[in-house]
Amino acid sequence: MALGPFYVAEKLKQSGGVRGVALLMRHGETPWNRQGRVMGRNPVELDSHGRAQVAGLIDFVRTLKPRLIVTSPLVRARQSAEIIAAGIGGVPIREEQQIAEVRYGRWEGMTYEDLIVDQDYLRYREEPILSSTPGGESISEVQARGVEAVMRTLGESDGQRVLFVSHGDIIRTVLCHFMALELRHFRRIRVDNAALSAVQVAGDFAEVKFLNVIPDIGRTFIAPFPVKPKAKSNDE
């Protein structure tokens, strides 16, 4: 037998500190997701497709037995949380501002085609740790508030399982923290709409149970947004 499980078993049994399981779920798809449009704090609702994605998770979430659902207050996340709560029954929902979407400032409402000619975005794309969104926040600030909310909630939940319904980059940065992965690599973690990841926390240790689980697993191999190839100029 490999030695890794021995270490994990010892760590998970240690006493002291925050304990519990964080189930991290991204909201279902919206029309803006398919358009490649930056939602940010805009009140964009789920459509029928997004609702169906979330409903497809109900049976899986029921087996995980969360005792509390904590959701971003943004409408697409709140709707996703309500679908899950109605499906599994008897689980309260609480809103948490700290897991709301990244504040993207003036980029909100813009499309991919708009962004790729925006100099602020091009700098952010290359150096997200050293840059901030225009009028918004840095990805380090995003991670700090997301981790604080998860740890505080688990600390109040007496070792129970808590489902957090949030947004893609919030979840990516929180997972980086628990995986001890440098934040600059946050975009390497796939987080699909209506996908679940899970982390067990025990004091200063965390074990990732699973990442980006969705019923239609083939969706994870499709590009999250179809980027059109750059048109060739007449000089090429």
* Per-residue pLDDT tens over the stretch 54-80: 999 999 999 999 999 999 999 999 999
How do the residues of the chain divide into helix, strand and coil, expressed in percent and rounded to 5?
45, 15, 40
17-104+138-220: CATH topology is Rossmann fold (3.40.50)
> What was the pLDDT predicted at 44?
98
> What was the pLDDT predicted at 234?
53
Distances (CA, A) of 218 to 12, 190, 192, 221, 223: 32, 13, 11, 6, 11
Over residues 163-188, the pLDDT tens digits come to 999 999 999 999 999 999 999 999 99
Look up residue 100 and give its DSSP letter.
Answer: S
Mean pLDDT value across the chain: 93
Q: How far apart are CA 117 and CA 181, in angstroms?
A: 30
DSSP-derived secondary structure for 145-190 = HHHHHHHHHHHHTTT-EEEEEE-HHHHHHHHHHHTT--GGGGGGS-
Structure-model confidence comparison of residues 2 and 121, the more confident one: 121
Structure tokens at 122: 């091009």
- Mean pLDDT over residues 131-152, rounded? 95
* pTM, to two decimals: 0.94
> What was the pLDDT predicted at 236?
45
Q: Where are the domains of the chain?
A: 17-104+138-220
User: End-to-end CA distance of the chain, in Å?
Assistant: 57
Amino acid at 24: L
- Mean pLDDT over residues 91-120, rounded? 96
Cβ partners under 8 Å of residue 213, min gap 6: 60, 195, 196, 197
Distances (CA, A) of 188 to 184, 185, 212, 235: 9, 6, 12, 35
Distances (CA, A) of 197 to 162, 209, 231: 12, 7, 37
